[in-house]
């Protein structure tokens, strides 16, 4: 890894099974697209998003605002950006674009939690070896 990462973009084509009978992407897929971009962000940072036996990264909030539909075979981009970093959470903003036109915007907040068998998950600070790989872009 070189430097700290603040954003990532994936390019993707809408698949048949992501659409309803009218050929329009079901709203729930937008959240999956955001997670695909998040995975690319973590890969770019040289970090792993997969949970371990002691730690996990559950989503604690997610939103999307839709401006226009995506349709079967549309080729679009999903750009995710670190919006804020706190000791126990990272918040992302996401924009889905089709041919330079904004399709939807979303946000997602991810927590770092400790998993202890027989006990509820508890929020903990992100380990420095993970959080130090990310930065909030200057605007």
The CATH number that applies at residue 21 is 3.10.129.10
Residue 38 falls within a domain, yes or no? yes
* Cα radius of gyration rounded to whole Å, the chain: 16
The pLDDT of residue 2: 53
Q: Of the candidates 105, 112, 40, 99, which has an alpha carbon nearest to the alpha carbon of residue 71?
A: 99
Q: Which domain holds residue 120?
A: 7-131
Q: From the CB of residue 42, how many other CB atoms can be counted at a distance below 10 Å?
A: 20
Residue 18 φ/ψ, nearest 5 degrees: -85, -5
Give me the tens of pLDDT residue by residue for the chain, a chain 139 residues long: 456 999 999 999 999 999 999 999 999 999 999 999 999 999 999 998 888 889 999 999 999 999 999 999 999 999 999 999 999 999 999 999 999 999 999 999 999 999 998 999 999 999 999 999 999 997 6
Residue 99 falls within a domain, yes or no? yes
Residues 6+ positions from 93 with CB-CB distance below 8 Å = 80, 81, 83, 105, 106, 107
How many domains in the chain? 1
Residue 73 falls within a domain, yes or no? yes
The pLDDT of residue 1: 46
Residue 137 falls within a domain, yes or no? no
The pLDDT of residue 24: 96
The pLDDT of residue 123: 97
């Amino acid at each position: 890894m070189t430097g700290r990462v603040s954003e990532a973009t994936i390019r993707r084509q809408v698949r048949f099974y992501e659409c309803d009978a009218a050929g329009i992407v079901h709203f729930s897929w937008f959240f999956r697209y955001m997670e695909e971009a998040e995975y690319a962000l973590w890969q770019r940072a040289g970090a792993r998003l997969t949970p371990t036996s002691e730690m996990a990264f559950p989503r604690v909030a997610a939103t999307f605002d839709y401006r226009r539909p995506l349709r079967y075979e549309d080729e679009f981009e999903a750009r995710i950006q670190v919006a804020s970093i706190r000791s126990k959470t990272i918040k992302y903003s996401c924009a889905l674009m089709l041919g330079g036109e904004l399709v939807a915007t979303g946000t997602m907040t991810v927590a770092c939690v400790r998993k202890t068998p027989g006990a509820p998950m508890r929020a903990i600070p992100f380990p420095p070896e993970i959080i130090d790989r990310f930065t909030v872009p200057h605007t």
